[in-house]
Amino acid sequence: MLISLVGLPGSGKSTVGRQLARRLALPFFDSDHVIEQRLGCSIREFFEREGENRFRDVEEAVLDELTQGSACVLSTGGGSVLRSMNRLHLRERGHVVYLRSTPEEVYRRLRHDRNRPLLQVADPLQRLRDLYTVRDPLYRETAHYVVETGRPSVSTLVNMIMMQLDMAGISGGSQPAGSEADNG
Binding-site residues for ATP, in ranges, read: 10-15, 116
28-30: strand order across its sheet: 28-30, 72-75, 2-6, 95-100, 145-148
Binding site per annotation, positions for Mg(2+)? 14
* Distance in angstroms (rounded) separating the CA atoms of residues 155 and 138: 26
Binding site per annotation, positions? 10-15, 32, 56, 78, 116, 135
Nearest-Å Rg of the Cα atoms of the chain is 16
* Distance in angstroms (rounded) separating the CA atoms of residues 50 and 40: 14
Binding site per annotation, positions for substrate? 32, 56, 78, 135
Return the closest-CA partner of residue 136 out of 44, 35, 6.
6
Q: Which residues of 26-61 are buried (b: 16+ CB within 10 A; e: fewer)?
A: bebbbbbebbbeebeeebeebeeeeeeeebbeebbe
